[in-house]
A and B are shown apart, each in its own frame.
Chain A
Amino acid sequence: MKMTLRLGIACSFGWLLNACPSDQAPLGTGELGKGDLRIVCADDDAVCASGATSLDAAFPIAVGASIQVVYDGPVPTSPTGGPSTMTIFSASPAMLSKDEASFVAWMPGVVALLARTQEGTVADFVHLTLASVQRLELDSSPEPLVVGGKKVWKVAPLGADGAVLAGSLSYTWEVEGTTVEIVESAGRSVQLSGKQPGTAILRVKTGGVVGEVTLTVEAP
Chain B
Amino acid sequence: MSRLVWLVPLWCISLLGGCSSDEGFDLERSTDAPGEVSVTASSVTLPQGVAVGVRLRLHRSEDPENGEFTTAMRSTNPQIVQVWPTTERNTFVLCGASEGVASVTVLVEAQDDRTIAVVVDPPLRVTP
Contact = CB atoms under 8 A, between A and B. Distances in A.
Interface residues of B, number: 24
A123 interface: yes
11 contacts: A31-B32, A32-B30, A91-B50, A92-B49, A110-B34, A110-B50, A112-B49, A122-B87, A125-B51, A125-B93, A127-B50
Contacts of A127: 33-34, 50-51
Interface string A143-166: 000000000000000000000000
A91 B51 CA distance: 7
A193 B7 CA distance: 76
A66 to B, nearest CB: 17
A122 B86 contact: yes
Interface string B58-84: 000000000000000000000000101
B87 A123 contact: yes
Interface string B93-118: 10111100000000000000000000
Nearest to A22: B87
B45 to A, nearest CB: 15
A178 interface: no
Contacts of A93: 97
A91 B87 contact: no
Give the interface residue-count category, chain A.
20 to 34
A121 B49 contact: no
A92 B85 contact: no
A94 B35 contact: no
A34 interface: yes
The 5 lowest CB-CB distance pairs between A and B, nearest first, are A112-B51, A111-B49, A91-B95, A92-B49, A122-B84
B24 interface: no
A91 B86 contact: no
B95 A121 contact: no
Contacts of A22: 87
B86 A32 contact: yes
B31 to A, nearest CB: 5
Interface string B22-41: 00000000111111000000
A122 B48 contact: no
Contacts of A109: 47-49
